[in-house]
Amino acid sequence: MADKAPPRNIARIFDRIEQPIYFIDQRWHIRYCNRACLEWLKCSKEEILDRRCAFHTGGNLDPGDALAAGLCPPPGAMESHESVGIVVCLQPTGELKRRRGRFLRLTTTSGVLGILGILDQHDLPDSPAPDRLPKSPADSLLSLDDGTQEAFRLHEELRQSWRTVLHKGWPPLLVGSSATVRRLRQQIEALSKITLSVCIVTPPGGGGGLLARAVFHGAEPHPQQCLIPLPCEDLDPVVLRMTLQVFDSVPPPPQEFPHTLLLENVDRLPNVSQEVLCHILASKPGSYRVLAVSNQSLDQLVESGTFLPELARMIAHFTVLVPSLAERREDLPLMAQAVLEDLNVRGPKQVLGFSREVLDLFAQYDWPRNFEELAWVIDQCYQATSQPIIDVDALPRELQWSMKHKMRLLRDPETISLPTFLADVEKELLLRAMQRARGNKTRAAKMLGLSRARLYRRLLQHKLIKPEDLHAE
């Protein structure tokens, strides 16, 4: 029952209503749209029905799923009797239309059927800020506190980014407005338009493989063009040859669209495999484009003698240096929102965003494993939360412990006693002088610029000699 559209008699009544009306089942699939809704969306039933409407801005989704995503009620609507929010529709002209909507949860004795969305008859004149959204007394889950407003703001900023600066197929790693990420986007976009080989150097967990795929897909590859991922750690020469022979046996793409080798962790490619790959690329010039990912500069590896210079020249016509997350902290809120919305598309539930406290913790954390760690943390939060807004309690314990330890160090910095510190320095100098003078106190006193009597007093003070030693000399 929950997966079916409303009965025909009800559907006929809804079709006469001038307000757009649609029904979403408990798994967030659109099961019904009335005539007014289809007219507003400017699509047919076949284009929208059975689509899953995730709380997502539409980037990286096909047109039908992006259209459905615009109709998503605010996360938390399945748990609330009545909710309010803003939905959007991307018109064929590229213009975004927005309407205010009410969302009613429909239930039976057996559980939740889904949500009935009822939109206003007219588009909003502009994009209202979250604090101007209408409030419903029944909407306790989506009270517009600071965290909710920030989540809506990030959601809208992400939507604008996908419309203006981001390209389909780009990962969340490329969202943000810092000068660092703007330069990185320019590099990825430029490299997508050429067929020369590229080496992407990232810190550990930096998402180099995602960026390499963005370069490949950004070029709108020929249908016969293949991306051949090769994990280079312990890559056996026999496996390398056999893999490339398989791709050589299929009809090749046009010469201007060569197959692309994605060499993951190329800095760990064994020496014998380096020689084999170098021979293959040299014997078949133009047959492959190489996108290599490394945690170390190939130039440095060549200098250390662990990488073949000839191979480095073949696979690194251009080098892209990817910054760590610690170098672009201002991008973290939007990047985290983008990762979360991708989880909304694939996961069983819809989550709105993060509390202010969580975003503050993200900004303070050092992210030693970079983007991969960020994606893992957000996935853990998504799995753990039962609320529309992710709070601190949903963070993985490892992150909570790390942040508590860091905050404790900031609150209780180690105190330094200047007299004790200077005394330790003086004692160290006395010991070194006595060692260099081979125990000769006259020579040690001369080294330190002290009289013999003063040297004795210092040695006694630091308990480096005993009083009876004075009479022994």
Query: What pLDDT tens digit does each residue of the chain (473 aa) get?
Result: 445 666 777 888 899 999 999 999 999 999 999 999 999 999 999 999 999 999 999 888 999 999 999 999 999 999 999 999 999 998 877 788 999 999 999 998 888 999 999 999 999 986 544 444 444 333 433 445 677 889 999 999 999 999 899 998 899 999 999 999 999 999 999 999 988 999 999 999 999 999 999 999 888 877 778 889 999 998 999 999 998 888 877 777 776 778 899 999 999 999 999 999 999 999 988 888 999 999 999 999 999 999 999 999 999 999 999 999 999 999 999 999 999 999 999 999 999 999 999 999 999 999 999 999 999 999 999 999 999 999 999 999 888 887 776 655 555 555 667 778 778 888 888 888 888 888 888 888 888 888 888 888 888 888 888 776 665 55
Which residue has 């006193």 as its token pair? 445
Query: What region, left, alpha or beta, does residue 439 occupy, with left being phi > 0 and alpha being psi -120 to 50 degrees?
Result: left
How far apart are the C-alpha atoms of 50 and 433, rounded to whole Å? 84
Alpha-carbon gap, residue 387 to 394, rounded angstroms: 10
> Which residue(s) pair with 100 in the sheet?
86
| H or E, element range at 234 | none
Is pTM beyond 0.95 here?
no
Q: Is the dihedral of CA 53, 59, 65, 71 positive or negative?
A: positive
With contact defined as beta carbons under 8 Å apart, do 196 and 320 qualify? no
How many Cβ atoms from other residues are within 10 Å of residue 37's Cβ? 25
Beta bridge partners of 87: 99
Q: Shortest CA distance to 202 belongs to which of 328, 339, 92, 389? A: 328
Strands 111-119 and 198-201: unpaired
Measured CA to CA, the distance from residue 50 to residue 4 in angstroms comes to 10
Q: Choose among 81, 146, 142: nearest CA to 116.
A: 81
Main-chain dihedrals φ then ψ at residue 104, nearest 5 degrees: -105, 125
SS (H, E, C) 37-56: HHHHHCCCHHHHCCCECCCC
At residue 334, φ and ψ (nearest 5 deg) are -70, -40
pLDDT given for residue 201 in this prediction: 97
Return d(Cα 470, Cα 460) in angstroms, integer: 10
Contact between 199 and 298 under an 8 Å Cβ cutoff? The reply is yes
CB-based contact 389:354 (threshold 8 Å) = yes
Strand partners, 18: none
Instruction: Quote the pLDDT of residue 139.
Output: 40
Task: Report the C-alpha gap between 322 and 313 in whole angstroms.
Answer: 20
C-alpha distance across the termini of the chain, in Å? 104
d(C-alpha 269, C-alpha 2), whole Å: 53
pLDDT for 358 equals: 94
Q: What is the pLDDT of residue 142?
A: 44
Distance CA 351, CA 370 (A): 23
3-class DSSP state for residue 286?
A: coil
The pLDDT, as a whole number, for residue 398 is 84
Parallel, antiparallel or unpaired: strands 21-25 and 111-119: antiparallel
Distance from the Cα of residue 236 to its chain's centroid: 32
Domains of the chain (ranges, CATH numbers): 8-139 (3.30.450.20), 179-325 (3.40.50.300), 346-406 (1.10.8.60), 418-472 (1.10.10.60)
Return the SS3 of 369.
Answer: coil
Residue indicated by tokens 């412990």: 401
Report CA dihedral (252, 258, 259, 265) to the nearest 10 degrees. 160
Cα 278 to chain center, whole Å?
A: 33
Backbone φ, ψ for residue 371 (5° rounding)? -60, -35
Query: What is the DSSP-derived secondary structure letter of residue 130?
Result: G
